[in-house]
Structure 1
Amino acid sequence: MPQTRRTDELMDGTALTAPRTPSPRDAPVLRWGVIAPGGIAASFVEALRTHTGQRVVAVGSRDADRARAFAGRFGIPAAYGSYAEVLDDAQVDIVYIASPHSEHHAHALMAIQAGKHVLVEKAFTRNAVEAEQLTTAARRQGVFCMEAMWTRFLPHMDVVRQVLDLGLLGDVLTVTADHGQFMNPRTAYRLFAPELAGGALLDLGVYPVSFAWMVLGPFASITAVGDTTDTGVDAQASIVVTNDAGAHGLLNTTLHARTPTTASVSGTRARLEIEGDFYAPATVRLVNRSNEPLGCHVPVLREGGLCYEAAEAARCVAAGRLESDLMPLEETLRVMRALDRIRADLGVSFPSE
């Protein structure tokens, strides 16, 4: 991967290397189809239009008028009143699955079986069984498949990876991360609906869990406590994970409050702090054991961060790769299994599971 050697000056002579993340504008151009033109799809298409050379050539909705309105808003040439028509369009190279995660398995499987590459919004599926089925289908069909865990592809996360790889923190001891938002049941119905795989964990908590996995690697133990809403989905969860080296992850998610949404990684030599919202483009600070600042990375791009995941997918597809090293399918599967375990601890299950 290309690497820029610009460094920040640090008080102790150590250096934070700049992110190696390539410019999204330099990614090979793919022709994208979008399934389910909702809010996240709009953010995705706007990010592509503003920060990349990617082309969105088709959009599909179960409501033809909605598809046409979305296409008119973003200048997309083809608008379809069904998802199947997007998949039948020979101009589409790759499909962005932007439907609620309760529908990801069905919609992504349709696309994979049609021979399309897929970028599937997080959470990848409702559970690990569905994730395994999609993974098997994609590998059998020989198409690219990746979870759109956009955080993994942001430049500040590459700074985090480099700090860990260089051992600047010493032995990692503790990871903290939280993601809580105040959600009103009257206006955020999906998050409170069991039939739509609602709850805090799959929509919000997936970010802290995935971040902890990136830092700690495989979890050796998982313990969770929490409570549920009146509808039976998880309202709040506090999670402790460990790895084989004995490091701890302290994670929290809730639908009931706006939390700091920060993250940190503490080691025997130093600590990394990621400002809120840690899962979006964010400032990263390195401090020593005396709490003195050693270095700081400030993101260049604050808005439109979804462009980085699209650029990664485009680079992989152009290179003939079926998975991304930054978010490989095996890691998506393991995170989904961890989420299943946490839901089991909370006593939460979804209809038809």
Structure 2
Amino acid sequence: MTSSNPQHPKSDQLSYRDAGVNLDAGNLLVEKIKPFAQRTWRPEILAGIGGFGALFEVPHKYRHPVLVSGTDGVGTKLKLAFQFNQHDSIGIDLVAMSVNDILVQGAEPLFFLDYFACGRLDVDTAARVVQSIAAGCMQAGCALIGGETAEMPGMYPEGEYDLAGFAVGVVEKDSIINGSSITENDVVLGITSNGVHSNGFSLIRKIIEKHAIDLNNKLENGTLIEAIMAPTRIYVKPVLELFRRLPVKGIAHITGGGLLENIPRILPMRTMAYVNKESWEIPPLFHWLQQQGNVTDEEMFRVFNCGIGMVLVVAPEYAKEAIAVLHDNGETVWQIGHIKQRDANEPAILIV
């Protein structure tokens, strides 16, 4: 390959940097994030960040391991992160959305990969994001084993980026949780959320825009922006401890679709969840959103978690012990309902 085109002077020569891609910045970012990833290390890692692919050995403690995978993003919560320069917890949201999803099938999260895409790479901002991804992985007990940083000029506005995450976990084949054993009179438990987590932000942003709301205004013990941007709660370690202690029949991660759409996903035919909305404390943020947006109860329960980030179904004889185990592991838990038989014309969930 010739070093230059003799038809053009050297002053016209172009480089990748001229096209908007800074390879040196990408290499610098890799060096900055290596210490964050190392803190999430697990003994099963055979090769991690730096290679073309990461290698991870299935833990030997599993007799008949089944791999469980999940992927998700953060959604338009990122728009507020850009606006308010809040990049130090957004990675926790990214990890939570995937590890909580695979947890509900009984899986222990093993490793996580991230995808960070931007128009122009700001090394410091990207490092803050990846550091928060590593923090989420530490909360989940999984390894940040690799990822991809894509600098694509012209694809994103200045100062903005997008995130995607990918989690892989493992569960014993005979311990997979799928809700098939749920039956009448089983108890529905709800674990509290940190707030809106990472769902419903298109509606939240619409409410803010319509009423020109100053998010530095106070709400309870902090500001509105602090309440809205609180990172998604990662339930992995407390719920894995619960699995070790007693049988759980079904679990639903309350994400997009809220309580109304996520709980029915785990219910067998001819059963319904009867949920009492007075049985838990709905945080002030949700009351504020409903009032500001004039949102109906049904829409609130369809869009938001309304204070319940994870729902578990257990047999009645295990309900008190399940609450105690989760409480001892730092969670606030409410008995929010029970399972009933349902007729063909009845809904799969009723919130009263």
Determine if the TM-score, normalized by the shorter chain, exceeds 0.5.
Answer: no
Task: Report the TM-score when normalising by structure 2.
Answer: 0.29
Structure showing greater radius of gyration is: 2
TM-score (norm 1): 0.29
